[in-house]
Structure 1
Amino acid sequence: MLSDRINSGATKIRLDGLENQGGQRLDELLEWLRMVGPANQCSLQPASSDASFRRYFRLVCSAGTLIVMDAPPEREHLHSFIEVDRLFAGVGVRVPEIVEYDLNRGFMLLEDFGSTSYLSTLDTETAAELYADAMQVLRLFNNDLDPGQSELPRYDHHLVQREMGLFEEWFLAGKLGIRLTKAEVELLQSAKAFLTQVMLEQPRVVVHRDFHSRNLMLVDGLNPGVLDFQDAVVGPLTYDLVSLLRDCYIAWPETAVVQWVRDYFDGLNLDGVDFEQYYRWFDLTGLQRHMKALGIFSRLDLRDGKSDYLGDIPRTFDYVQAVASRYAELSALDNFLTEIVSDRLSRVIPQ
């Protein structure tokens, strides 16, 4: 195994596909890899990027491959990744083994789960089996991790409100150029208060917080491999399930979603909570998440120059509209989305 050979000598590294991505940060990363990497010839290749300031590379050597994480310490913190990795691994979740890290520099070597994500594999033939595997992971979160003993941050009123502020600042104002009237500000405040209440009234569990098809990898043995968990919190029971089944990157017929939710619910033991109540939580928690996601996708484009997520905005907005239309408490929000936002969105990001 490649990780067994770490620190055995100076690594010789060839850049592959990174010729135009030089600079001081890459030079520092190469220096670190030469000190901690395996004692043979390796190549460093681009692996992936995400909706943060982290970058990922693949270190390809004769004995195998590893993933290299570059997390600039002034922007990202490795402590939370390390702690959540240990927490999840302790209850049997398949998370990458951490091979080596440098907290001060923000570098890490990790087990490589390959390049086959759930997103690249999901279709009508594979969905049932893949989602069943993913829901087993959620059962580990719900049943084997004690939120009361966890030192993870709490998904509290402040965090919920702050997330929803992204919808107004970056999606409505930033991307769509909508200037809110006093009445529109008030209806959004009312919707935020309602959704915050729904989020906070649910049983508390350990929440991955980004449990979707891009962060689940198809791996041999215990499937799936779980990534991007460093922002885990103690939060609402339904949050990870709606992240999985109402995914910003792939959509399913509502009949299929309802059946998957029911299958998961049937395996829970919730005193005094029927399926109607659970599904209401699922619906409205998803609405909060998708409003936040619209803000994040817009911010990635406007602030960070990452336009890859713009194509996911129409699908995510469809989720928001569909759920808002189902609840009397959100009728004002539904009207605003239908009469104002939908038209502006169709002109800014044509479907």
Structure 2
Amino acid sequence: MDLTIPLGTEAFLNNAGWVGATIEPLPGDASFRRYFRIRHTKGTAMLMHAPPPNEDPEPFIRSARWLEGNGMRAPIILAEQAEDGFVLLEDFGEVRMREYLDAWPQDEEEIYRGAIDALIRLRRLPPGPFTGYTLAEYQREAKLFIDWFVPARGLYVDGRSWTNAWEDVLSPLLGRQRPGVTVLRDYHAENVMLVGGLDKQGLLDFQDALVGHAAYDLVSLLQDARRDVSPELEAKMLDYYLAQSGVQSAGEGDDFRADYARLGAQRNAKIVGIFVRLWKRDGKPRYLDYIPRVWALMERDLAHPALAPVAAWFDANIPADVRASLGGRFAV
């Protein structure tokens, strides 16, 4: 863990009224952002440092204020100096959904229902002031698989037919994501804090929010790259979402399930590419350990009839026997 304190941190905290605070570095994530817990006689806060040119804190600030202003539990912005990458945030504490469930697995269904309830509240809000999730963006993300995973494995594939297969798969859902919901895009057990009770979901890592399909964040939660969610729990929670959101009673359950599989496969292909990129480009090989889980989830999604064009692409370019031998595993 990098223990260095960014230049200008003390001056920023002093200007924000936190003179003399202690600064504790915290483990980082997959980006260039760094986090620090700030302790002071007035309490604690979280400092995010997202320095330009690699990061831009403005989207985080904009998203946080919109979410908090619409009744969602995003951290309150206490101070900001965006041009230098500094944002001082409300401290949600240390009880992440992931670690809570590691300690109290018997509460799993209750915790997941609470996380889904937060998505349902988000669904009922008007779409936020964010860019739409377009077919071009879905395609850009899916292409990360062939840009990074494929060459890392020494494979040769047909990139044009990959794009065509995804267009066939994703085009049917585009009309169903209008007018759309705010999609946080990285909603999973390590980005949900349990604040003030088990049903109070503190949201993190939403700076890339877009307006898109309600199934995206749900599949992000239930097909978690970093935590095993059993197929039985996934099915039960998907049923819960469909019932509580009104999707099932509106007669739209089959379309939603198909779109859930579409976005699951797209997201998992993207994540495989991103995790290889984190290794190759950013020197972070630890993310390779997650790929077998993500790969298995992608294979499950490909079994849905809605994914037939992409499943056919895999059979032609990376056949089942080759995929089984790969299994998403890497030796570093």
- When the two structures are superposed, what TM-score results if normalisation uses the length of structure 1? 0.85
Amino acid at match of 1:58: R
- Corresponding position of 1:143: 124
Decide which of 29, 34, 51 is 2:14's aligned counterpart. Answer: 34
Residue 324 of structure 1 aligns with an amino acid whose one-letter code is L
In the alignment, what sits opposite 2:149? 171
Q: Secondary structure at the match of 2:217?
A: helix
Measured at CA, do residues 198 and 125 of structure 1 come closer, stay the same or move farther in structure 2, by a change above 3 Å?
farther
> Contact between 2:291 and 2:328, CA under 8 Å: does it hold in 1?
no
Shift of 1:340: 2.9
Following superposition, the deviation at residue 349 of structure 1 comes to 4.4
1:103 aligns with 2:85: no
Q: Structure 2: how far apart are the matches of 1:66 and 1:163?
A: 34
Could you tell me which residue of structure 2 aligns to residue 197 of structure 1? Answer: 171
Q: Which residue of 1 aligns with 2:225?
A: 248
Contact 2:38 2:46 in 1 (8 A): yes
Aligned length: 322
Contact 2:101 2:108 in 1 (8 A): yes
- What is the 5 A alignment of 1:252-267? 252-267=229-244
For 1:347 and 1:242, locate their aligned partners in 2 and report how far apart those are by CA, in whole Å: 23
Aligned-partner Cα distance in 2 for 1:267–1:115 = 29
Aligned equivalent of 1:315 = 293
SS in 2 for 1:126: helix
Q: Among 176, 189, 212, which residue is 2:188 paired with?
A: 212
Query: 4+ runs of 1 displaced by more than 6 Å?
Result: none
Instruction: Give the distance between the partners of 1:105 and 1:37, measured in 2 at CA.
Output: 18
Residue 337 (structure 1) shift: 5.2
Q: Could you say which residue in structure 1 is the equivalent of 2:313?
A: 333
The 5 Å alignment of 1:1-351 reads: 21=4, 26-40=6-20, 42-122=21-101, 124-144=105-125, 146-147=126-127, 150-173=128-151, 175-180=152-157, 184-203=158-177, 204-221=180-197, 223-270=200-247, 273-327=251-305, 328-335=308-315, 336=318, 338-345=320-327, 348-349=330-331
Aligned counterparts of 2:238 and 2:250: Cα–Cα separation in 1? 18
**Whole-angstrom distance in 2 between the partners of 1:213 and 1:137:** 13
Provide the rounded CA distance (Å) in 1 between the counterparts of 2:56 and 2:310.
37
Read off the aligned partner of 1:332 and give its amino acid letter.
A
Distance 1:217 1:346 in 2: 29
Moved more, 269-278 or 191-200: 269-278
Q: 1:264 and 1:240 mapped to 2: Cα distance?
A: 12
Q: After alignment, is 59-68 or 222-231 more displaced?
A: 59-68
Contact 1:198–1:284, Cα closer than 8 Å, also in 2: no
Alpha-carbon distance change, 45 to 198 in structure 1, aligned in 2, over 3 angstroms: farther
Structure 1's 94 and 63: CA in aligned 2 closer, same or farther, altered over 3 A? same
2:227 and 2:2 mapped to 1: Cα distance? 30
1:100 counterpart SS class: strand
Structure 2 letter corresponding to 1:228: D
Alpha-carbon separation, structure 2, partners of 1:242 and 1:265: 13
Q: What's 1:12 paired with?
A: none
After superposition, give the CA deviation of every residue in 1:135-165 in whole Å (9 maximum; x if it has no partner): 1211121112x12xx4201100111111111
- Separation in 1, partners of 2:261, 2:169: 10
Aligned alpha-carbon RMSD (Å): 2.2
Cα distance per residue 1:255-283 (max 9 Å; x no partner): 22111111110122348643222211111
Please say if residues 56 and 85 of structure 2, whose CA atoms lie closer than 8 Å, have aligned partners that are also in contact: yes
Q: Secondary structure at the match of 2:301?
A: helix
SS at match of 1:206: strand
* SS of aligned partner of 1:348: coil
Counterpart-to-counterpart distance in 2, 1:244 and 1:102? 32
**SS of match in other structure, 1:213:** coil
- Give the SS at the match of 2:37: strand
In 1, Cα distance between the equivalents of 2:260 and 2:245? Answer: 14
Paired with 2:214 and 2:107, the residues of 1 have a C-alpha distance of 26
The aligned amino acid for 1:192 is: W
CA distance in 2, matches of 1:347, 1:39: 48
Q: Which residue identity lines up with residue 120 of structure 1 in the other structure?
A: E
TM-score (normalizing by structure 2): 0.89
**Bigger Rg, structure 1 or 2:** 1
Instruction: Report if the CA contact (8 A) 1:176-1:345 is conserved.
Output: no
Give the drift of 1:286.
0.7
